[in-house]
């Protein structure tokens, strides 16, 4: 657990006088799901955007396996090994499961404009896509048009697209949003498997899921870290009790 794959040091993002993220540091290790939680407006999604490169930092540094990636654009970070999902599902609804995942695998291979060629053109890309689809349990749906799938299945598809890029770090922004219990449980089981030989950063509002998944928690409020540690430690942190967590987890709201 000493193998830090992603490390942020004193990250800040300011919009004029607004400090969306202020001096946030965290280290995410191989084989670990590191959940970031907090009330609405705490800065969680901004932090994920900073880590992925979708938002430029005002100050601070981001390192991937010891390499400074702070100045890299999102596509360059993706090629380096940082992949993410978004709050809103990002898929191609008119394409099949295989076509969606093959696109992601093709982009990782460095030939994105050739992805509309024959499906047999690149067996390595095809194999990577098929492996990613199998990892999320969608092999039986491989030829299904994405828009014909349930919301939960579309989330599984998006995770498969992330996996097809061969990431070492995966950023998941509210992967359970809008799901019923059965679909959520299916995605939780998939997310648990993602950490094998990878590091996962998870932003999620479902506290039951967070405590089921997280090896480590960082709690944010008003753009700052107010607590960080293992789930039980954070559960009993006085500042966390006051700021966020509910009675159902044995702490005050």
**178-234 pLDDT tens trace:** 899 999 999 999 999 999 999 999 999 888 899 889 999 999 999 999 989 998 888
How many other C-beta atoms can be found within 10 angstroms of the C-beta atom of residue 75?
11
DSSP state string for 57-79: -SEEEEEETTEE-TT--HHHHHH
* 97 and 213 belong to one structural domain: no
Phi and psi torsions of 152, nearest 5°: -65, -40
Dist CA 136 CA 134 (whole Å): 5
Nearest to 83 by CA among 98, 97, 104, 113: 104
* 143 and 174 belong to one structural domain: no
Classify residue 46: in a domain, yes or no: yes
* 66 and 174 belong to one structural domain: yes
Q: 125: which residues sit within 8 A by CB, 6+ positions away? A: 102, 105, 106, 109
Classify residue 192: in a domain, yes or no: no
Per-residue pLDDT tens for 114-135? 545 544 567 889 999 999 999 9
Containing domain of residue 137, as a range?
88-166
Q: How confident is the model at residue 163 (pLDDT cuts 50, 70, 90)?
A: very high
The predicted model scores a pTM of: 0.88
Per-residue pLDDT tens for 24-51? 999 999 999 999 998 888 999 999 999 9
Dist CA 17 CA 187 (whole Å): 39
DSSP 52: H
Dist CA 109 CA 76 (whole Å): 13
* 152 and 35 belong to one structural domain: no
Q: How confident is the model at residue 248 (pLDDT cuts 50, 70, 90)?
A: very low
Give the number of residues written for the chain: 253
For 12, what's the count of Cα atoms within 13 Å in the CB-facing half-sphere? 12
Classify residue 45: in a domain, yes or no: yes
Mean pLDDT of all residues in the chain? 89
Classify residue 187: in a domain, yes or no: no
Q: Give mean pLDDT, residues 148-173.
A: 95
* 59 and 94 belong to one structural domain: no
pLDDT reading at 111 higher than 70? no
Higher pLDDT, 249 or 134: 134
Classify residue 155: in a domain, yes or no: yes
* 92 and 162 belong to one structural domain: yes
The domain that contains 1 carries what CATH number? Answer: 3.40.50.300
* 96 and 67 belong to one structural domain: no
Dist CA 142 CA 100 (whole Å): 10
* 16 and 49 belong to one structural domain: yes
Classify residue 70: in a domain, yes or no: yes
Dist CA 52 CA 76 (whole Å): 10
Which residue is associated with the tokens 């430029």? 56
Q: Are 175 and 191 in contact (CB under 8 A)?
A: yes
Return the pLDDT at 160.
96
* 7 and 68 belong to one structural domain: yes
How many other C-beta atoms can be found within 10 angstroms of the C-beta atom of residue 68?
11
Per-residue pLDDT tens for 47-91? 999 999 999 999 999 999 999 999 999 999 999 999 999 877 789
* 243 and 123 belong to one structural domain: no
Q: How many domains does the chain have?
A: 2
pLDDT reading at 240 higher than 90? no
């Amino acid at each position: 657990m000493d193998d830090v794959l992603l490390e942020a040091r004193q990250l800040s993002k300011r919009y004029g006088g607004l400090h969306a993220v202020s001096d946030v540091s965290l280290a995410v290790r191989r084989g670990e799901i590191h959940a970031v939680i907090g009330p609405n407006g705490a800065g969680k999604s901004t932090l994920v955007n900073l880590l992925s490169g979708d938002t430029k930092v005002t100050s601070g540094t981001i390192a991937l396996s010891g390499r400074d990636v702070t100045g890299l654009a999102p596509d360059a970070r993706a090629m380096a090994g940082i992949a993410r999902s978004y709050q809103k599902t990002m898929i191609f609804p008119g394409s099949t499961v295989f076509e969606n995942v093959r696109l992601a695998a093709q982009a990782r291979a460095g030939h994105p404009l050739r992805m509309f060629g024959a499906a047999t053109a690149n067996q390595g890309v095809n194999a990577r896509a098929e492996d990613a689809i199998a990892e999320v349990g969608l092999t039986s749906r491989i030829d299904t048009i994405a828009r014909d799938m349930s919301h939960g299945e579309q989330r599984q598809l998006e995770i498969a697209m992330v996996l097809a890029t061969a990431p070492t770090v995966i950023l998941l922004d509210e992967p359970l949003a809008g799901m019923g219990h059965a679909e959520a449980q299916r995605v939780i089981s998939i997310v648990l498997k993602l950490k094998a030989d990878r590091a996962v950063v998870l932003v999620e509002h479902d506290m039951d899921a967070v405590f089921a998944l997280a090896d480590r928690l960082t709690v944010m409020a008003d753009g700052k870290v107010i607590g960080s540690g293992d789930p039980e430690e954070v559960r009993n942190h006085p500042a966390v009790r006051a700021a966020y967590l509910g009675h159902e987890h044995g702490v005050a709201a």
